[in-house]
Amino acid sequence: MKNIIPYSLKTIFTIGLVNILGVGYAQNPQQPYLGHRTAPILTVGKLKFKDLNKNGKLDAYEDWRLPINTRIQNLVSQMTLDEKAGMMLISTTRMAGDFAFEQGKPKGPITSGFNEEDLVQNINMFSRKPLPYPLLSASGTTKGVKEKHLRNFILRANTDAKTIAEWSNNLQALTEDTRLGIPAIVASNPRNHITRDNSVGLSVGTTVFSKWPGELGLAAMHDLKLTRQFAEIAAQEWKAVGLRKGYQYMADLATEPRWQRIEGTFGEDANWAASMIFEVVQGFQGKKLNPNSVALTTKHFPGGGPQVEGQDPHFDFGKDQHYPGGMFEYHLKPFIAAIKAGTSSMMPYYAKPIKTEFEEVGFAYSKAIITDLLRKKLGFQGIVNSDTGPIEMMPWGVEGLSILERYQKSLDAGVDLYSGSADPSLLIETVKKGLVSEKRIDESVSRILKERFELGLFENPYVDAEAAQKTVGNANFQKVADIALRKSIVVLKNEKVLPIKAKTKVYFETYLESGKNNPHYVYQPKSSADYAVEFVKTPEEADQVIVWLMPGTAGGLFGSTGAPIDLRLSKNLIDVEYVNKLLKSGKSSTLCVNFTSPWVMEELAPSKALLATFGTTPEAVLDIVLGKFKPSGKLPFSIPASSKAVLENLSDVPGFMKKGDYALYKFGDGLQALK
């Protein structure tokens, strides 16, 4: 058995150069834990290293004592073009039993094994038109890793923590058993929020992870310390199951009330959103990426939101973004904060700007936006990760270019990582035909590798599945989250009906239209001892009526047709006539509205009290109205006074700056006590 493993001549030269420059080994290197399955362990003196390429020698990229840049250079020099191209794609990956995107497939149990089926799309899911060529949106796992050299994945499956952790370990073992042993990194959309729209790509929905307010609700808390706690807790949960990258959070501003991504923002005020995004990034990542971090992808640069008529740029009819109020710079503020916080990745938006100084192409194709503004002016050095499908499905402004020319233009603009495709062949062809140099490819691959070196994945990508089950969603985490759920509620109006007095007969209904289910859910506590009031089953029995409305767009974001967006409640799954009957019943009435958009409430009869929620629980609402928890929330955006105000608004201007009688309630409104 060898105790000393000789370096190659190239490695010796590299290490020597490093030492000459004064940036060599630490004086007392601390042995990290090495998680491994198939890679042999090399021993050098008293230290151990993973022989990831199984060549019996300690290569520089395997040597955890060396500076990360030295390790990157050595690894890139060993990679083939095929391996580099695979590294530049991030695509959906599926667990065994997970048939995401496949309608009609049986919904069986999701297990820790691999889904080995390719998922090929022939139709653009957004335009509903044929694609120029079949798109491999998800590869069979083993083939994707071993033949296509894929190493970046988006997990959309929703199952228990132990199963996810076991699957993650299986995936890392698969990547370890390859030529260079480069570990995978698995990303996810948000998993910790109570949300209304759980469309794939926006949120995973209700999960086993700790449950917090939606992003708007976090902003409404107006508590940066608790925001940081949220991010630190969520990061522990994510890391426990092997999720080391978040496709989150949105630094976009809610300035155009009709835009249907507002639920994922931190509101309309750039300064407050900047403070929020800073805390969230540092909470997930730490002051810099390290083996305990979850790397974040901040989106959607340079700021989604000011869309023409609020339409979404996933669709051809929503591809235009404008700044009629001249506030382009205002929308950059939260992104500047994310860069200052050290966000690992930045995602440009699909949209193309119109009537600005910039080329009218999707932001992923804009060199002025990515290279000149993001990298040179704002100093971002991390990964530029495209949104899903700008090459194949949303090539706004470059529709006339071939697929290879789109790769060429986006690479020249500064994109590093392409989301949505599991087929690297066309990217490889782009290089082989001379449209892009391999040196340019090396730049992107180096940035992508740096993230996983900093996360410590080359040393240990594995997790403890039993510990994951105990960590994720544990009672101590949820206890903190429960405070946040209550702090996120905003009391906008109270005409001496709150707090509700003891022994009052209360009818509490949640109104939610969802499929064929009865939209009327009447709350009955598990234990009457928890509350001093009596809950009744009909409004006729009650002294006090509470109705909690859950408006939403029919079909969610991806059901959009391009029709004008109407924010009146009657157009968003609310039976206004029924609600008004309750509010006019002669009972003391408390109206709660869950705001995923700034709904227009001009059709509603007045209520004695009005609460705004942003993803919370009935128990949290009751604790506010019964006086068990002091209200402290503040509106994260302005609520328009009328449909007319919405139609006349300037898309890039926050509501509190809009002129005239735009707002019924403004950003920052909220009663801080019940009197």
Antiparallel, parallel or unpaired: β 609-613 and 490-494: antiparallel
For residue 335, what is the DSSP state? H
User: Counting runs of H as helices and runs of E as strands, what totals does the chain give?
Assistant: 18, 23
CA dist 172 and 114 (Å) reads 12
Strand partners, 296: 246
> In degrees rounded to 5, what are phi and psi of residue 569?
-60, -35
Neighbours of 129 (CB within 10 A): 10
Strand, helix or coil at 510? strand
Report the distance separating Cα 145 and Cα 156, nearest Å: 18
Residue 187, helix vs strand vs coil:
strand
Backbone angles phi, psi at 280, to 5 degrees: -65, -45
Active site residues: 387
Angle at 253 between CA 250 and CA 254, to 5 degrees: 115
Rounded to the nearest angstrom, the gap between the alpha carbon of residue 191 and the centroid of all alpha carbons in its chain is: 9
Element (H, E) at 481: helix 475-487
**Burial class of residue 446, CB neighbours in 10 A (0-12, 13-18, 19+):** middle
Nearest to 438 by CA among 142, 90, 83: 83
Measured between its terminal Cα atoms, the distance across the chain in Å is 79
- Do the beta carbons of residue 545 and residue 588 sit within 8 Å? yes
Q: Are the CB atoms for 153 and 184 separated by under 8 Å? A: yes
How many C-beta atoms surround the C-beta of residue 7 within 10 A?
A: 17
Q: Which two tokens stand for residue 110?
A: 């999701």
Q: Which residues pair with 507 in a beta bridge?
A: 545
Q: For residues 30 and 381, what is the distance between their CA atoms, to the nearest angstrom? A: 28
Eight-class DSSP state of 397: T
